[in-house]
């Protein structure tokens, strides 16, 4: 069972998406990711986009640790329902509507006009690759605020993804089967 690791809602269980359609981030990877972000002050008061949200665990963790606004983007109906339930539970703990859900594809969500994000977390299905996926990463990069950060989760076995134009690679970290790519807006 997934849970919030730290922050205002620490220990709170999160609903999971039934079936095998999603691949939850392991607690080890989630803890390492959020320790990295928190140590560099990437969470307090930030606007966060959680792309390919699944259950919304990453976005909910960001909200628990101080993000001001989080949007969970998930197109699969069952997963979006789980995101809504987890967002409602977390918003209840936080006493404010910090976490919202966009039940649409990542492509559609990024194509709509909207506020820029300080932090974008992208955990797409591992098979995603090629020109269409690179276009999604470019659209995500365009949605970043000046100096914003895009974190991409991939299989450590896959070749490194092509870094979107305008982003500088800050770091790459591997945790077992998972690799995290940290890219920052150069503007």
Q: pLDDT at position 20, please?
A: 58
Q: pLDDT at position 43, please?
A: 95
Q: Is residue 21 part of a domain?
A: no
Owning domain of residue 171: 27-185
Q: Is residue 18 part of a domain?
A: no
Residue 16 neighbours by CB under 8 Å, 6+ apart: 1, 2, 24, 55, 82
Q: Is residue 13 part of a domain?
A: no
Give the tens place of pLDDT for each residue, 130-147: 788 899 999 999 999 999
Q: pLDDT at position 46, please?
A: 97
152 pLDDT exceeds 70? Answer: yes
Percent of the residues in the chain that have a pLDDT greater than 90, as a whole number: 75
Q: How confident is the model at residue 128 (pLDDT cuts 50, 70, 90)?
A: low
Q: Is residue 137 part of a domain?
A: yes
Which CATH number fits the domain that encloses residue 104?
Answer: 3.40.50.150
Task: Write down the pTM of the prediction.
Answer: 0.93
Q: Is residue 163 part of a domain?
A: yes
Residue 160, judged by CB atoms within 10 A of its CB (0-12, 13-18, 19+), counts as: exposed
Q: How far apart are the first and last CA of the chain?
A: 39
What average pLDDT does the structure give for the chain? Answer: 92
Query: Measuring CA to CA, which residue among 20, 22, 32 is closest to residue 180?
Result: 32
Higher pLDDT, 108 or 126: 108
Q: Is residue 167 part of a domain?
A: yes
Question: Which of the residue ranges 22-31, 40-49, 167-176 would you say has the lowest mean pLDDT?
Answer: 22-31
Q: Is residue 22 part of a domain?
A: no
CA distance 4 to 12: 5
By 3-state DSSP, what share of the chain in percent is helix, strand and coil, each rounded to 5? 30, 25, 40
Q: How confident is the model at residue 108 (pLDDT cuts 50, 70, 90)?
A: very high
Q: pLDDT at position 22, please?
A: 61
Q: Looking at the 3D structure of the chain, how many domains does it have?
A: 1
Q: Is residue 19 part of a domain?
A: no
Q: pLDDT at position 19, please?
A: 67
Which H or E run includes 165? none
Query: Measuring CA to CA, which residue among 51, 46, 75, 79 is closest to residue 63?
Result: 46
Q: pLDDT at position 56, please?
A: 95
Give the tens place of pLDDT for each residue, 68-99: 999 999 999 999 999 999 999 999 999 999 99
The region that residue 130 occupies, defined by phi over 0 for left and psi between -120 and 50 for alpha, beta otherwise, is left
């Amino acid at each position: 069972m997934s849970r919030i690791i730290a922050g205002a809602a620490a220990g709170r269980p999160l609903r999971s998406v039934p079936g095998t359609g999603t691949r939850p981030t392991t607690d080890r990877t989630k803890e390492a990711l959020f320790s990295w972000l928190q140590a560099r002050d990437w969470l307090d008061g930030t606007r966060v986009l959680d792309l390919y949200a699944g259950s919304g665990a990453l976005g909910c963790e960001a909200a628990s640790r101080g993000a001001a606004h989080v949007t969970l983007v998930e197109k699969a109906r069952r997963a979006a329902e789980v995101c809504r339930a987890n967002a409602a539970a977390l918003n209840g703990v936080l006493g404010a509507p910090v976490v919202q859900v966009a039940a649409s594809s990542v492509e559609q969500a990024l194509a709509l006009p909207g506020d820029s994000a300080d932090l974008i977390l992208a955990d797409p299905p591992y098979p995603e690759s090629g020109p269409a996926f690179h276009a999604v990463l470019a659209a995500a990069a365009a949605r970043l605020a000046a100096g914003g950060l895009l974190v991409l989760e991939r299989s450590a076995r896959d070749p490194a993804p092509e870094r979107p134009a305008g982003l500088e690679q800050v770091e790459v970290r591997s945790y077992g089967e998972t690799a995290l790519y940290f890219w920052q807006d150069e503007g």
